[in-house]
A and B are shown apart, each in its own frame.
Chain A
């Protein structure tokens, strides 16, 4: 397996970067969108709440594979033709945002109601209280599920292979097709995914302990 690895190395190197780009990119953009959605769910305007609810229902309730294929192969019928990488990034972002918004909403909801009362009685408005008091605490509470989502997203990037993006899974299939040594390639690539995710898990743990220090 060693020589197979060495021979695939140049392809794998580029592919890891693509996987990380898609995964972390979708996570970052998805977090921003997810936070907006969470705030919309908590808004006092019925229209915003309904919109956010519908969004989460659609993107959480349908398979990511279907979303990717529809975005890439379906949109051209309506005049919107995206290239593979932007399409994959967009699909992963929209998908991640749905789950992340629920994580953020739960985190915000878990903050003690007394925090709102203290902020309000100081004269803070809703947004000031939210941004200065509630979100810093709520986001910290949300770190574990959000971290899990990021790791899941790294794995979800493998579906980008179905729309021609050359990431880790695609390379495994490609070299596998030439050599017929699919299993070895999948094992190799599986290991790489695992290593990447272990590193991210460690980062999450460090972040959690740093963020929680002041509460101990």
Chain B
């Protein structure tokens, strides 16, 4: 893969939490418009990898390039001011959707959506409102614009979270187990929105256990175990004809 075209390019990513190694030098890249699903057992480092991409976790070593901005991390070295500026730039080009939604409870739904554009990108409030309402329309929640998050169901909250991310006009959206906290009935609402986004060509990186989503929408499935990438293949190849015993075990587990 030609690295200069990649939206995301990760090299040698290493991270330990208090002595326990979680990422052992991961190399990884995502091209523009690709939908990549990351799977693996808990403790495999998949969430840490995702969170490192927008520096919610600070890697011990390795380099991360997102949309042309590169940050290189060295062991035991504090981030320079230059690097911190770059991280801010990376965060503005990417959006994250969290397992526990993390909506701002003290703001209404529409205020949640326009918070990013208005306070970070300094977009005019009226303009942001119009765009925000359009986004809520897209995820099917324009009727709830003036409600507070406490009044919404889990599925509705997650859709608002997606709209909030989209409001920043990101080049890539990072999804951290977006449906794991939802009961099965509500998951489909969210997955529908995600499928739409994929269809529209959004670059997406999704950590999830949703096999059907991966089969239907993903361009690649990346399997992680023990802090390294074990398998990286298109879904058909990944889900059928897979000879890796670790992957087989995992697939059996989540299938049941």
Contacts and interface: CB of A to CB of B under 8 A. Distances in A.
Interface of A: 112, 114-115, 117-118, 120-125, 128, 132-133, 136-137, 140, 214-216
16 contacts: A117-B56, A118-B103, A118-B104, A120-B91, A121-B56, A121-B94, A122-B120, A123-B88, A123-B168, A124-B119, A133-B104, A137-B105, A137-B106, A140-B106, A214-B106, A215-B150
B218 interface: no
Contact of B91 (A123, A136, A137, A215): A123
Chain A interface, >50% SS class: helix
Contact of B148 (A117, A133, A137, A215): A215
A43 to B, nearest CB: 15
Interface residues of B, number: 24
B89 to A, nearest CB: 8
Contacts of A121: 54, 56, 91, 94-96
B44 interface: no
Contact of B106 (A117, A118, A136, A216): A136
A125 B164 CA distance: 17
B215 interface: no
Contacts of A115: 102, 104
Interface of B: 54, 56, 88, 91-92, 94-96, 98, 100, 102-106, 115-116, 119-121, 148, 150, 164, 168
A136 B111 CA distance: 14
- Chain A CB count within 10 A is highest, among B92, B98, B105, B168, for B105
A14 B56 CA distance: 57
Given A118-B103, A122-B168, 9 more contacts: A115-B102, A118-B102, A120-B54, A121-B95, A122-B115, A123-B88, A124-B120, A125-B88, A128-B120
